[in-house]
Amino acid sequence: MFLCLLNNLFAVANMLLGASAAINALTGIHTIAATFLVPVGVVLYTFVGGIKATFLTDYIHTFTILIIICFFTVKAFTIPEIGSIGGLYDLVVSAALRNPPTGNHGSTYLTMTSKDGLLFGILHICANFGLVIMDTSFFVKAFAASPKATVPGYVLGGIMYFAIPWCLGTLMSSVALGLENNPAFPTYPRRMTSTEVGNGLVLPYAAMAIAGKGGAAAILLATFMAVTSTLSAQVIAVSSIISFDIYRTYFRPHATDADVIRWSHYGVVFFGVVAAAFSTLLFYIGVNLGWTLYMLGVVTCPGIFPTVFTLLWKHQSRAAVIVAPVLGMLTGIGVWLGSAYGLYGAVTIETTGFALPCVYGTVASAFSPLPYSLLITVFNPQNYDWEDFKKEKLAFSPAPSTSNTSSAIVENPDAPVSQAVMRRWAYIAALFSVATFLGHWVLWPLPMYASKYIFSKSFFTAWVVVAIIWVWGTLLVAGFYPILDGRHQLGKIWRAVREGKLRKGTLGGTSERGETGDSETSSTSGEVEKGGGEEGIAVKGSGI
């Protein structure tokens, strides 16, 4: 619980620091005002809508962001200063001649043979893996659907999402480099400072250079959408820990549904205030987005191996799963601060934010719990019986319904068919995990790093074209596939709304057996799983 709460706190602080700096640069609003105002709307709609609000905002906000990204993929080549992908290539070549980058092969931006780039990659492989493993919002969403909905969703989402940082990073950073000496660029005639780059202002400045005030408004909207969507998921994750894992487990084991919902509301408000206050603290001590982005892995990674072993290795002991991540975090912090002192002679905000100390600290945090857990387990191994999971029950027993129309089909997880389906999806998830790691992190970037290849104009053109096609494909998949996949549920909801027969609180039930009197289960929309808590019903077999 401690590691998950710490993970979510730093993840939200990282987002708020970047978002508030971007909003300040685009609108002039005070950074701290933006830090507190951004979470307000999130807290309100999450307070009212729970995880339903998170799912809906994830969809709507992602669709909006992708539309904005696709707009920039067209707009960037319509201004006379760029004109084409070839023109953008020439601008980047000229930028390297004016200000050659250190550490890059050939002193050019058009290569993947970059020491800083390699360190950045290692850092974020570990940090982001820890961020996902220790982020309970992923678990909350995954538990709300069946494996046959969760696994395809995460696999497809992972494949399509890759286009966003690839396309947007390539295009807008190239625009920023190429137009930095142009009067249209916001910082002209000076270059961007390291502080501005560290605050994540490259994207807003590039957008303003190619689209003026419209570009600023688009990035402001995209920033707000991205931060509020993610923040909503983090708030739900923390509120679930506070209400279920702390309040219901240790303070009131027999708490009612209403009690836990009330405490989840307390958790939503509490975390929103704490996260904004913590971000304010970081801002006033001189920490920016770049610093938190680099050191994030030191606090997010210690729980990776103990958590994975908890799920996959029956012999890991209770002592190992508790002690190993604590020792791992202490090891990572020690290596991080020690490296900063050893390499730069002092432990300051500046030295602890450099790439090398953060890489050493993150790797130590990620991998040191592995031997710690193994060694501790050797002294007193356990032999956990996985069959105990079958004894687990829902947090709350479904309340008896007085109306047959609000009933739902409950899948029996112990049925042989269900077990076979789960095993099948487990194999598919493992296969795509390995394939994604090898493709995105090994087979593609490392050979390009080792080859010392400098992009030609034709290769750069192909690179950008593929990235743009991929991101437009992402727009189609993320924007329209959920509608196609959930068309049967949406049709029933629409008919129920049109006929005026929906009752408050039964929207989820109508996905399968609605107020329209339809007692048949759609053959393509999957099943509905009834549960406790605030939601009660989770749609299975669909992307909704």
Helices of type H across 76-146: 85-98, 115-133, 136-143
* Cα 529 to Cα 509: distance, rounded to the nearest angstrom: 10
**What integer pLDDT is reported at residue 475 of this predicted model?**
92
**What integer pLDDT is reported at residue 543 of this predicted model?**
32
pLDDT tens digits for range 473-504: 999 998 888 888 888 888 888 888 887 754 55
Report residue 519's pLDDT band, with 50, 70 and 90 as the boundaries.
Answer: very low
| 3-class secondary structure, 45 | helix
Report residue 331's pLDDT band, with 50, 70 and 90 as the boundaries.
Answer: very high
- Min mean pLDDT across 40-49, 180-189, 362-371, 438-447 is at 40-49
**What integer pLDDT is reported at residue 110 of this predicted model?**
92
Q: In the 8-state DSSP scheme, what is residue 248?
A: I
**What integer pLDDT is reported at residue 412 of this predicted model?**
58
**What integer pLDDT is reported at residue 395 of this predicted model?**
61
Residue type, 456: S
Q: Is residue 506's pLDDT more than 70?
A: no
**What integer pLDDT is reported at residue 262 of this predicted model?**
87
**What integer pLDDT is reported at residue 358 of this predicted model?**
93
pLDDT tens digits for range 372-396: 999 999 988 888 887 777 776 666 6
Q: Stretch 428-440: mean pLDDT, rounded?
A: 87
Residue type, 83: G
pLDDT tens digits for range 55-89: 777 788 889 999 999 999 999 999 998 989 999 99
Report residue 227's pLDDT band, with 50, 70 and 90 as the boundaries.
Answer: confident
Tokens of 351: 């030295």
Q: Is residue 353's pLDDT more than 50?
A: yes
pLDDT tens digits for range 123-174: 888 888 888 888 887 877 777 777 777 888 888 888 888 889 899 999 999 9
CA distances from 112 to 127, 355, 444, 454, 481 (A): 21, 17, 10, 8, 34
- Distance, C-alpha 281 to centroid of its chain: 23
Q: In the 8-state DSSP scheme, what is residue 515?
A: T
Q: Is residue 41's pLDDT more than 80?
A: no
Sign of CA dihedral 482, 483, 486, 489: positive
Tokens of 100: 């050659």
Which is more confident, 483 or 505?
483
Contact (CB, 8 A) for 204 and 25: yes
